[in-house]
Amino acid sequence: MGFYSKSKIMLRQLFGHELKAEVGLYCKTFSAGGWTFSPIGINNSSVIFSLGIADNIVFDKVMIDGFACNIHAFDPTPIWIDWIASQNMPHEFHFYPHAVGGFDGTLQLYPRVNKMGKPLPGMLTLIDEWGGAYAPIEAPVKRISTLMSEIGVDQIDILKMDIEASEYEVIDDILNSGVPVYQLLVEFHHRFRTVPLDRTKAIIDRLAAAGYRIFSISKKLYELSFIHEETYYQRLNDSLKGLTPRSGARKRA
């Protein structure tokens, strides 16, 4: 990021128009496809939920190639449903053509619109940013807890979300229902003119109160990675069990 961009962000922070956040837990991290995660406690039995994938499956492929994880990917966007169908995906990649939200049922999704006023067919949001100027599509939507029950898993190791402002209700639902999630990788959308910055601040505070700590922040302050602190230290200790010192090492008194 250049000097101008950094200065612009700092100025926006100074006037309360941009997010201020700090890393609260330092741990080993990997990055893939623009997302940062911790490999601690991740293995071939880990459950990965990937929400909002579009045509960027770099993260998903890294998790499959590097950890042999099963990926459960969700995207209700017609153009990306067709694109996924045209790909030769590994058997560990499981795709579901519907939205994820705070309820089970049907959701109206509107196209994102660029600065020129043209709709973007590859980006859908639950927010009608243009007051009915563009017709929505209807998509099936399910809660995280419902999906877990249907898939047959009782916890999520990594939950990645780029879902165009639906992340707030998904996180609220997760915290309200007590769904165990180890890591959350979230792109927040307070840059939308209809999404106040305070909404992102409030959800970060809720995550902190539930024991989650920020361990990575993107340069533009949109993508944040959270880890459940107690679970992290449990998995870190588990990974150290069975390790023995080298033959020349001496046990301290």
- Higher-pLDDT residue of 110 and 31 is 31
Average pLDDT over residues 2-8: 67
The model carries a pTM of: 0.90
Residue 247 pLDDT exceeds 70? no
Q: Using pLDDT thresholds of 50, 70 and 90, give the confidence band for residue 252.
A: very low
Tell me which of 3.90.1200.10, 3.40.50.150, 3.30.300.280, 1.10.8.60 is the CATH number of domain 22-98+143-240: 3.40.50.150
pLDDT tens-place string over residues 230-239: 999 999 999 8
Distance CA(253)–CA(126), nearest Å, equals: 61
Residue with tokens 């990649």: 93
Rg (C-alpha) for the chain, rounded Å, is 20
Summarize pLDDT for 8-54 with one digit per residue, the tens: 666 666 656 677 889 999 999 999 999 999 999 999 999 999 999 99
The two tokens of residue 235 are 């998995």
* pLDDT band at residue 120 under the 50/70/90 scheme: confident
For position 248, what pLDDT does the model report?
A: 47
> Which tens digit of pLDDT belongs to each residue from 155-208?
999 999 999 889 999 999 999 999 999 999 999 988 777 888 899 999 999 999
127 and 136 in contact (C-beta within 8 Å)? Answer: no
Summarised one tens digit per residue, pLDDT across range 55-65 is: 999 999 999 99
- Phi then psi for 46, rounded to 5 degrees? -70, 145
Taking a C-beta distance cutoff of 8 angstroms, is the pair 14, 202 a contact? no
Could you tell me the pLDDT band of residue 96, with boundaries at 50, 70 and 90? Answer: very high
Residue 43 is given by DSSP the state -
Those residues with Cβ within 8 angstroms of residue 208's Cβ, 6 or more apart along the chain or in another chain = 24
- Is the predicted pLDDT of residue 249 greater than 60, yes or no? no
- Computed over every residue of the chain, the mean pLDDT equals 89
Token reading at 167: 């992340």
Phi, psi of 142 (to 5 degrees): -140, 150
Residue 112 has pLDDT above 80, yes or no: yes
Grade residue 127 by pLDDT with cuts at 50, 70 and 90.
confident
**d(Cα 86, Cα 202) in Å, to the nearest integer?**
40
Q: What percent of the chain has pLDDT over 90?
A: 69
Phi, psi (rounded to 5 degrees) for 43: -150, -165
How far is it, in rounded angstroms, from Cα 59 to Cα 37?
Answer: 10
Cβ distance 166 to 125 under 8 Å? yes
Instruction: Tell whether the model's pLDDT for residue 105 goes beyond 50.
Output: yes
Q: What is the pLDDT of residue 6?
A: 66
